[in-house]
């Protein structure tokens, strides 16, 4: 039975994550969560061999202090630190990254647009008006994002490049365009994905997109 481009790309991204983690032993709480969440994601998608591999990587990680370098008034002796080493479950991944269709996405955008004028104008196609209504860099990136999720990739890139925003917002929008190409499985997405250097977390997000799941809470907008 032939494997689809999406299936091939998904397994390739997961294998690249595993290889990078094996080459550079991850440390710390957030990396531990990343590894165990990826193990649970593999199990959810039916890649049991990779799920086992990620679980083994988690077991090999050195002990960590979940509050290392944190400024806190919490008495760590009163906290069950072992709960920070709990393995993420398939049920948690299903809850945090549910199946997410284009209809779900557009429904969320239209609800947000009820109170955000720049989003309302953007969804109506009035991009110039939306830009004038934007309150800052974040709003400008959100306008570009609304174009990207509607498949208007070139227009989204042209818009963000024409605006006075920080470089990281341009990079963020380019990553969103890649996510959307993977989510929509547009022609050539697999080749573009292979040519794009990504960090481990970026690859995990791409896997979620390929699986038709929500890449993060609040998608497609950035949180900062």
Alpha carbons 61 and 27: distance in angstroms, whole number: 6
Residue 155 has pLDDT above 50, yes or no: yes
Buried b / exposed e over 119-150, threshold 16 CB at 10 Å, is bbbbbeeebeebbebbeebebbbbbbbbbbbb
Alpha carbons 170 and 213: distance in angstroms, whole number: 24
Give the containing element (helix H, strand E) for 75. none
Pick the more confident residue, 64 or 149.
149
**pLDDT tens sequence across 165-215:** 999 999 999 999 999 999 999 999 999 999 999 999 999 999 999 999 999
Supply the mean pLDDT for the chain: 91
Contact assessment for residue 204 and residue 17, using Cβ atoms and an 8 Å cutoff: yes
Query: What is the model's pLDDT at position 80?
Result: 65
Contact assessment for residue 31 and residue 61, using Cβ atoms and an 8 Å cutoff: yes
Longest dimension (CA), the chain: 57
Evaluate if pTM is beyond 0.75: yes
Alpha carbons 8 and 101: distance in angstroms, whole number: 21
Alpha carbons 10 and 6: distance in angstroms, whole number: 6
What is the average per-residue pLDDT within 29-56? 94
Residue 142 has pLDDT above 50, yes or no: yes
Strand partners, 99: 213
Instruction: Report how far apart the first and last C-alpha atoms of the chain are (Å, whole number).
Output: 44
Q: What percent of the chain has pLDDT over 90?
A: 79
In sequence order, what are the residues at sequence separation of 6 or more whose Cβ sits closer than 8 angstroms to the Cβ of residue 210? Answer: 6, 9, 10, 13, 182, 183, 185
Residue position matching structure tokens 């979620």: 208
Residue 31 has pLDDT above 50, yes or no: yes
């Amino acid at each position: 039975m032939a494997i689809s481009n999406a299936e091939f790309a998904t397994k390739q991204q997961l294998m690249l994550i595993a290889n990078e983690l094996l080459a550079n032993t991850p440390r710390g709480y957030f990396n531990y969560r990343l590894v165990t969440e990826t193990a649970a994601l593999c199990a959810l998608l039916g890649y049991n061999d990779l799920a086992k591999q990620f679980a083994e990587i988690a077991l090999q990680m050195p002990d960590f202090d979940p509050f290392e370098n944190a400024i806190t008034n919490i008495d760590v002796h009163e906290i069950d630190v072992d709960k920070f080493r709990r393995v993420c479950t398939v049920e948690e991944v299903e809850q945090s990254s549910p199946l997410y269709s284009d209809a779900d996405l557009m429904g969320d955008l239209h609800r947000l647009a009820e109170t955000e004028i720049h989003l309302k104008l953007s969804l109506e196609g009035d991009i110039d008006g939306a830009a004038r209504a934007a309150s800052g860099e974040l709003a400008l990136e959100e306008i570009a994002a609304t174009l990207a999720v509607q498949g208007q990739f070139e227009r989204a890139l042209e818009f963000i490049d024409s605006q006075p925003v920080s470089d990281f917002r341009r990079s963020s929008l380019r990553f969103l365009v890649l996510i959307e190409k993977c989510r929509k499985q547009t022609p050539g997405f697999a080749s573009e994905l292979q040519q794009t250097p990504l960090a481990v977390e970026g690859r995990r997000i791409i896997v979620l997109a390929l699986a038709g799941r929500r890449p993060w809470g609040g998608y497609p907008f950035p949180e900062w």
